């Protein structure tokens, strides 16, 4: 792995300190900077141009992580972005994916697993380790700011739960064709040709959420 300039973003100083030590000891990180707020993170991005950004989604009770992901992807040259979050609900995963995150790792992982995820992400491979999160209502996706509409994030959150179009339609009180249209737009925005491609890319361990009907098989309902 080439020399790395990393940025760690979290509102907990101890977590930032631990991540910095871990990166300095276990990777070729030349510089590891820290930020505790969205504004600090953006300033660090502008000043140090990191090629690896590790950020929480929720910072000081606000959904700032999505904005940090988007800024890094839009303004940094080939920066890899890994979301390191305490919430791995479908809504949080949908938000990270929509914001442009390359990888998503839940905070329950070991240091060895995190370093492995960092190395893989820097090498251009997606890593999604989603243990420990609890499923949240679809409407929770709207807590986070993103380019997608509120309804599209609600639909994406349920797609990540492996819900079928019929199940999503019933949950959100929409016509099935309306859901199909949302799914098509979501996949197009994320540059995937089908749900199968989406899930193959994620390679996640996301457990299916309880659904009102039979669980959807992978790729069904495209």
Cβ atoms of 186 and 141 within 8 Å: the answer is no
CATH number for the domain spanning 182: value is 1.10.10.10
pLDDT tens digits along 120-164: 999 988 888 876 443 333 334 334 434 678 888 889 888 888 899
CATH number for the domain spanning 81: value is 3.40.50.2300
Among 99, 129, 159, the domain boundary falls at 129
d(CA 176, CA 59): 36
165, two tokens: 């179009």
d(CA 73, CA 75): 6
Q: Does the pTM of the predicted model rise above 0.95?
A: no
206, two tokens: 């996301």
Question: Structural domain tally of the chain?
Answer: 2
pLDDT tens digits along 3-36: 889 999 999 999 999 999 999 988 778 899 999 9
Mean pLDDT of 65-72: 94
Least confident interval from 35-44, 75-84, 209-218: 209-218
Mean pLDDT of 184-210: 72
The candidate with the shortest Cα–Cα distance to 108, out of 89, 136, 87, is 87
Q: What's the domain range around 156?
A: 138-202
Greater pLDDT, 100 or 176: 176
């Amino acid at each position: 792995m080439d020399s790395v300039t990393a940025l760690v973003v979290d509102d907990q100083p101890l977590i930032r300190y631990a991540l910095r030590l871990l990166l300095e000891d276990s990777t070729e990180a030349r510089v590891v900077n820290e930020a505790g707020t969205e504004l600090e993170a953006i300033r660090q991005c502008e000043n140090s141009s990191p090629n690896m950004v590790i950020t929480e989604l929720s910072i000081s009770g606000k959904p700032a992580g999505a904005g940090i992901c988007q800024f890094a992807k839009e303004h940094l040259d080939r920066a890899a972005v890994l979301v390191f979050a305490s919430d791995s609900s479908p809504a949080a995963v949908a938000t990270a994916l929509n914001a442009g995150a390359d990888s998503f790792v839940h905070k329950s992982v070991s240091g060895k697993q995190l370093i492995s995820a960092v190395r893989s992400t820097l090498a251009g491979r997606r890593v999604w380790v989603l243990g420990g999160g609890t499923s949240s209502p679809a409407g929770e996706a709207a807590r986070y700011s993103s380019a997608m509409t509120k309804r599209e994030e609600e639909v994406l959150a349920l797609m990540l739960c492996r819900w079928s179009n019929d199940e999503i339609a019933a949950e959100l009180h929409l016509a099935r064709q309306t859901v199909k249209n949302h799914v098509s737009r979501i996949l197009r925005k994320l540059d995937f040709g089908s749900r199968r491609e989406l899930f193959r890319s994620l390679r996640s361990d996301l457990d299916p959420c309880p659904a009102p009907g039979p669980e959807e098989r992978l790729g069904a309902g495209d």
